[in-house]
Amino acid sequence: MTDPFLQIFQLLYRHYGPLNWWPAETPFEVCVGAILTQNTNWGNVEKAIANLKELGLLSPEGIREIETERLAAAIRPAGYYNIKSQRLKEFVEWLFRHHGGKLERMFAGPWQELREELLKVRGIGRETCDAILLYAGHKSSFVVDAYTARLFGRLGLLDGASGYEAIRRRFMERLPGDAQLYNDYHALIVQQSKEWCRKKPCCTGCPLSDLCPRQL
DNA sequence: GCCCAGGTGGGTA
DNA sequence: TACCCACATGGG
């Protein structure tokens, strides 16, 4: 009997195939995208990132040197631009202070320690932190988001676990520590949730219909 | 017009 | 710990 966490992955993967996240050209672009997408539609983030590229700001040096107000104007389409411009600044300042402004250096050590350090940076919460570790650094740190909690809670697989760390632990205990698996799985959960779990007749054709308590 | 989106930090009880 | 709130744009 396959573990349900693995079984669900297989069902989703069979249905959607590899989704090839994160859509970005460089690890630094992943980090910027991870901060910009906080509570924000990805389409809006793409506009903000396009602006940054056009202005030549999509590098640690670029973000570091631009004035906060001009940075805010550039990322305006992503929403929360005053807060997010500060968060990008804080992250980059921290990156220079601790790792010479180089992501390769940041990722060089043990990632579990890096996770603790990143979580101390203002504006980098748990999900953003894990997204950076997984999608920019290819570290096997599972990313939990609102979709994950909603979907697995509805499937009755969280067994009372609430809170980010408890849910993340549940996944990491049941799955092999494989960055590629975590990468695909998170993307598949987002895709599945967008496509199905807010629709009214949510069952015909849904890849998880056999497991879903709402199929009635 | 309303609701939502690949959250986080600060405050209060 | 568990809720509340502010933060803001753009698409459906």
Nearest residue to C9, CA vs C1'? A79
Residue A186 contacts residue A134 (beta carbons within 8 Å): yes
A99 C-beta less than 7 Å away from strand C:
no
Q: Is residue A213 part of a domain?
A: no
Q: Is residue A123 part of a domain?
A: yes
Q: Which nucleotide is nearest to A83 (CA to C1')?
A: C7
Domain span at residue A100 reads: 27-136
Q: Is residue A204 part of a domain?
A: no
Residue A39 contacts residue A16 (beta carbons within 8 Å): no
Q: Is residue A212 part of a domain?
A: no
User: Rounded distance, CA A55 to CA A57, Å?
Assistant: 5
| A131 CA – B9 C1', rounded, Å | 19
The tens-digit pLDDT sequence of chain A (216 residues) is 689 999 999 999 999 999 999 999 999 999 999 999 999 999 999 999 999 999 999 999 999 999 999 999 999 999 999 999 999 999 999 999 999 999 999 999 999 999 999 999 999 999 999 999 999 999 999 999 999 999 999 899 998 888 999 999 999 999 999 999 999 999 999 999 998 766 555 567 889 888 877 653
Is A126 in the same domain as A151? no
Q: Is residue A165 part of a domain?
A: yes
Which of A81, A95, A21 lies closest to A48, judged by CA? A81
A47 C-beta less than 7 Å away from strand C:
yes
Is A172 in the same domain as A98? no
Is A76 in the same domain as A132? yes
Q: What pLDDT does A17 receive?
A: 96
Is A158 in the same domain as A191? yes
Residue A60 contacts residue A92 (beta carbons within 8 Å): yes
Q: What pLDDT does A213 receive?
A: 72
Is A100 in the same domain as A119? yes
Here the CATH number for the domain that contains residue A50 is: 1.10.340.30
A132 C-beta less than 7 Å away from strand B:
no
Is A98 in the same domain as A169? no
Is A90 in the same domain as A32? yes
Q: Which nucleotide is nearest to A37 (CA to C1')?
A: B6
pTM exceeds cut of 0.85: yes
Is A14 in the same domain as A34? no
What DSSP character marks residue A156? T
Is A132 in the same domain as A31? yes
Is A33 in the same domain as A131? yes
Is A67 in the same domain as A131? yes
Count of domains for chain A: 2
Helices (H), chain A: 4-16, 27-36, 42-54, 60-65, 68-74, 81-99, 103-106, 111-118, 126-131, 146-154, 164-174, 179-195
